[in-house]
Homo-oligomer: A and B are copies of this chain.
Amino acid sequence: MRLGWIGLFLGFPWAAIAQTQSVPAKPDVVQYHATIDVVKYVYGTAPPVARLRPGNILEANSLDCFGNAIKKPGDTLALTKGDNPLTGPFFIEGAAPGDTLVVHILDLQVDGDQGLGAFAPGFGALNQTNYTPMLHAPLPEKIWFYPIDHAGNTATFQALDSNYKVKIPLHPFLGCIGVAPAGGEARSSIVPAEFGGNMDAPEVSAGNTLYLPVNVAGALLYFGDGHAVMGDGEIAGTAIEVPMKVRLQVDVVKGKHSNWPRFENDKEIMAAGIYRPVDDAVRIAFTELVAWIHADYGLSELDAYELLSQVGKAHLTEMVDPNYVVVASIEKKYLPPRK
């Protein structure tokens, strides 16, 4: 049910029409292969691994959140070199501070036959963490292995403490996608924030477009942390973690900038709010959505607020990373025509 890249142009961003119309009918494809030796663990300024022009398609891969180090029962988290190794950065020609980077997610395919779930120290919504510490003994490290059935498009959960098995349909997405932060900051690959990052948002899936604020020349796009599928909140601390084959198309909207990541597809507009507690993530996401509706669809802020109270959606993507992520959304069918 993956959309081809042409379908993506039905719904797209602020004033992007002129620019995307100039994209050649057959966009250039840039290919890149990431390995453990060249991944990054920080969103920041670093020499680009490749350069993309607006309209280019990127075909690349990402390692799983453990750097592909956990392969079989008995392997432990101690084998990993770092969390969420990132593919990138990619320098996007023409992207400058104050612009918006547009990332069309064209296709994501699990790159392997197995996914992993794990209790990693310091992660989890129902256990003590680095930032919600307690005096309990930590939960024991455990790893679940999920066989991937590519033909059936499923992963199989196999209980560790009983014989129960069940198939789960895949919904592949990138847990990490982001750009170099503003103000000279550099942030760990486990952190989501204004620049995107470890949002663990299933919205980063084929058919959706992601908008990110450009903070440095070239934007410097990174991604990784592929997820075969994940529940709301990622409550135990991991999704079904997988290496990923990634097909993206990038674009740039000049001179427009939002404070936080945004998403769009044919049917919805979506704004991410990223902070702690969840309450503040909700407030950020919905004030951004009110502002978007006001600016692009012409409703007054208070009318937009009221309308969202009746038809808005709030999606808690994760409550386990250093910041929490909520994506607020509204279906376009409830909005006036875009100005």
Interface residues of chain A, those whose CB is within 8 Å of chain B, are: 41-42, 44, 117, 119, 124-128, 130-137, 139-140, 142, 144, 155, 157, 159-162, 164, 166, 168, 183-188, 229-240, 259, 275-280, 282-284, 286-287, 290, 298-303, 305-314, 316, 319, 324, 333-336
Contacts and interface: CB of A to CB of B under 8 A. Distances in A.
B319 A279 contact: yes
Given A133-B287, A135-B290, A279-B277, A168 B311 contact: yes
Contacts of A41: 183-184
A299 B155 CA distance: 18
A47 to B, nearest CB: 14
A168 B204 CA distance: 28
B142 A282 contact: no
Copies of this chain held together in the complex: 4
Given A275-B276, A319-B282, A230 B310 contact: yes
B186 A302 contact: no
B136 A139 contact: yes
Enumerate the 3 nearest inter-chain pairs by beta-carbon distance, A residue then B residue, closest first. Answer: A236-B309, A161-B300, A136-B136
A238 B305 CA distance: 11
Contacts of A128: 134, 136
A162 B303 contact: yes
A70 to B, nearest CB: 15
A278 B287 contact: no
A17 to B, nearest CB: 23
A131 B161 CA distance: 28
Given A136-B136, A157-B310, 16 more contacts: A124-B305, A126-B133, A128-B134, A131-B275, A135-B287, A142-B302, A161-B303, A168-B311, A229-B311, A231-B308, A231-B310, A231-B313, A235-B286, A236-B305, A279-B279, A314-B316
- Among A127, A164, A279, A310, chain B packs the most CB atoms within 10 A around the CB of A310
26 contacts: A44-B184, A119-B302, A119-B306, A125-B283, A128-B134, A132-B283, A157-B334, A159-B307, A162-B298, A164-B299, A185-B185, A186-B186, A229-B310, A230-B309, A231-B309, A231-B313, A232-B314, A233-B309, A235-B286, A236-B305, A239-B310, A277-B279, A278-B278, A278-B279, A278-B282, A278-B316
